[in-house]
Amino acid sequence: MAKCVGRELVEARGMDVDSLINVLVERALAEMGNYYYFTLLRIHLLGVDGEALRRIIEQVREQDRHHFELLVPRIYELGGRLPETAEQESGTLGALRVLPVEADVPKILPILLQAAEASVKAYTNLCAMTIGKDNHTYNLALAIRQDEIQHQVRFLEMLGRGAAEPRLQTSAEILLSVAQLGAPPAVVRVGAGA
């Protein structure tokens, strides 16, 4: 492998860079998979009784595409690369993979929530993996995690508006788990360069 300064810097601080690259690639494919899925879902919800959800999906979809674009440069800075075929992509959809786009809104929401929760967990793990060892990736993961928490909250709010009672209990549990994760530092720097 060609000499990679980004990789050497992080390795010097005790990071297992190969494992980190694997996680980042997995995350990038998951974000792309979400984007793809939300694209289908958004089309399906057009003109259906799901206008409010469609607006949320629209924003979440854009953010997940942005997350993909944030993750990719970091993978290459660390000397990794994206797979040339996206064969594994369907495997990274997680909870969303089992969701038919034809499902109605009350059925869709809990699954979207579950997927958002899985994303928050994945980025929390990425933060734990990189803290003190790779500041750039840590800040990146923290900022994306913040967005994923927002997605979770928005799905929770929708559930609260039109949900049957059993979901409300789950919502409260998830809100509690978000609170337990703690608030990120006030200043989060993400971006090109650095």
Distance of closest approach, residue 133 Cβ to Zn ion, in angstroms: 23
For residue 67, state whether it binds Zn ion (rule: CB under 5 A).
yes
**96: which 2 tokens?**
């969303």
Determine the Cα–Cα distance for residues 174 and 152; give it in Å rounded to an integer.
9
Q: How many residues form the binding site for Zn ion (CB under 5 A)?
A: 3
Residue 89 phi, psi dihedral angles, 5° rounding: -55, -45
Of the ranges 24-32, 83-91, 107-115, 166-174, which one interacts with Zn ion (CB under 5 A)?
Answer: 24-32
For residue 64, state whether it binds Zn ion (rule: CB under 5 A).
yes
Determine the Cα–Cα distance for residues 159 and 156; give it in Å rounded to an integer.
5
Of the ranges 47-55, 66-74, 156-164, 182-190, which one interacts with Zn ion (CB under 5 A)?
Answer: 66-74
Determine the Cα–Cα distance for residues 45 and 146; give it in Å rounded to an integer.
26
- Dihedral angle of Cα 188, 68, 33, 112, to the nearest 10 degrees: 20
Closest-by-Cβ residue to Zn ion is: 67
Reading phi first (left if > 0) and then psi (alpha if -120 to 50, else beta), residue 184 is in: beta
Range 29-48, binding Zn ion (CB under 5 A)? 31
Residue with Cβ nearer Zn ion (94 or 106): 94
Of the ranges 27-35, 37-45, 81-89, 152-160, which one interacts with Zn ion (CB under 5 A)?
Answer: 27-35
Q: Which residues bind Zn ion (CB under 5 A)?
A: 31, 64, 67
